[in-house]
Amino acid sequence: MNLHLHNTYTRTKELFEPIDPASVRMYVCGPTVYDDIHIGNARPLVVFDVLARLLRHRYGKDAVTYARNITDVDDKIIDRALENGEGIDVLTARTAANFHVAAAEIGCLPPDVEPRATDHIPQMIAMIEDLIAKGNAYAAEGHVLFNVPSMPDYGKLSGRNRDEMIAGARVEVAPYKQDPSDFVLWKPSTDDQPGWDSPWGKGRPGWHLECSAMSKEHLGASFDIHGGGVDLVFPHHENEIAQSRCAHPDESFARYWVHNGYLMSEGEKMSKSLGNFYTVSDLLKEFPGEALRLALLKTHYRQPLDFTKDGVREARQELNRFYRALALDPDGAGDVGAIPTVVLDGLSDDLNTPLALTGVHAAADAVFAAEKEGDAAGLMVAIASLRAAGSLLGLLEHDPHVWFQGDGDEAIDALIEERNAARADKDFARADEIRDELDAQGIVLEDGAGGTTWRREN
């Protein structure tokens, strides 16, 4: 099945046809590193990780370049560093490191390119100079602003009219602006703010400009896919289009615009005051990262998602079932087989992960059926197919025994030893008491000829 993606720019689901099948390029807006990411930030990480995996499967690993930036100069960073009483470099280094840990824990592979804004200031200045020369930008009082009326089709991505755009951008109608909708490309910096020398004085880039310059540097003036959350459609992505197409009028910039939907938390907008604001690092103290990932994938990426802890618990139970199927491999060889058709077709139809997941469940069903029938050869084929299905979704990449037991738990092992001793002394009441105690913690014991083993069920 051919790959189809919903293009925000055209508001239709389109056949994906890369500019060059030997060099498929995707840019996704990454984090502004002033704080740890929350579960809403995790959704696009997982969505576009799956898309990158799918593209590599279809076109070859070496034919895909996935770029995801880090914004390490921004007013939010300046304000948070001041609030914390720490240096900006210290803040951004810590939060970027935490981001990488969180992304890995939820099963996201590193992007092929991870540009940082502060490493691309010369490219940003050059783009601004080009826009001024073409009449699309102007300098005023140490600022440089993009002249929105100079681009006739500005607003096509978001579909907003002029009044909506001005209101939605929350722009400060400064006296130096030629038009209320004009936005900043360069702003002046005080001595205590990060800044770089430029033709317009010491300053720093506007957020929108950063992505235009970084995508151009690493993917070219035209590339295939630009992704991010739907909250970025306006003004961020709208402004990226304006800058990039005016700077390079003979290029298309991004051909397909892909956006994931909003995320709610426990039925409401996330808010610290409501107690439903979940950082990924906090959730990882309670749940395995793979359960968070599956919980995010169970809703189609373009639909609103209501993230709940109960939903993560359900996802974990589903993963327990999948791993029980993988544990039936007597040798633990880890062979990967053919991807089930329903999984590949589901993802090829605008990343329909709910449909793809039905294929993962069907693959697990096939494993249990083969085991029940005593079909050893069929069992191995089914297990290999289950592994392949999971891999394309970034799931089932742990050893089953590690999944159920984690890194081990000395307290649990000690209780099992105490239970074994109680059984040897025929103190069955104490043995049952220990089993019940562990069961209440989600620990299931299995007594066999080789001794007692355990696994986590929640």
What is the DSSP annotation of 305-352? EEE-HHHHHHHHHHHHHHHHHHTT-SS------PPPHHHHHHHHBT--
Q: What is the pLDDT of residue 437?
A: 73
pLDDT of res. 37: 97
- Angle between helix axes 309-326 and 353-373 (nearest 10 degrees) is 40
**pLDDT above 90: residue 171:** no
Contacts of 295 (CB under 8 A, 6+ apart): 307, 311, 312, 314, 315
pLDDT of residue 450: 64
Query: What is the structure's pLDDT at 377?
Result: 92
The model's pLDDT over 47-98, given as tens digits with 9 standing for 90+, comes to 999 999 999 999 999 999 999 999 999 999 999 999 999 999 999 999 999 9
Measure the CA dihedral 34/39/42/43, to 10°. Answer: -140
Place of tokens 């993606």: 5
pLDDT band, very low/low/confident/very high, at 415 (cuts 50, 70, 90): confident
More confident residue, 162 or 198: 198
Domains of the chain: 19-260 (3.40.50.620), 265-407 (1.10.730.10), 408-458 (no CATH)
Would you state the pLDDT for residue 102? 98
Q: What is the pTM of this model?
A: 0.89
The strand pairing partners of 145, in sequence order, are 138, 184
pLDDT at position 436 is 82
Average pLDDT of span 163-183: 74
Q: What pLDDT is recorded for position 375?
A: 94
User: Side-chain half-sphere of 174: how many Cα atoms within 13 Å?
Assistant: 14
Cα Rg, the chain, nearest whole Å? 26
Model confidence band, residue 407 (pLDDT cutoffs 50, 70, 90): low
pLDDT category at 427 given cuts 50, 70, 90 is: confident
- Mean pLDDT of the chain, nearest integer: 92
Q: How far is CA 20 from CA 25, 59, 65, 219, 224, in A?
A: 9, 10, 12, 12, 9
The predicted pLDDT at position 330 comes to 75
8-state DSSP, 234 = I
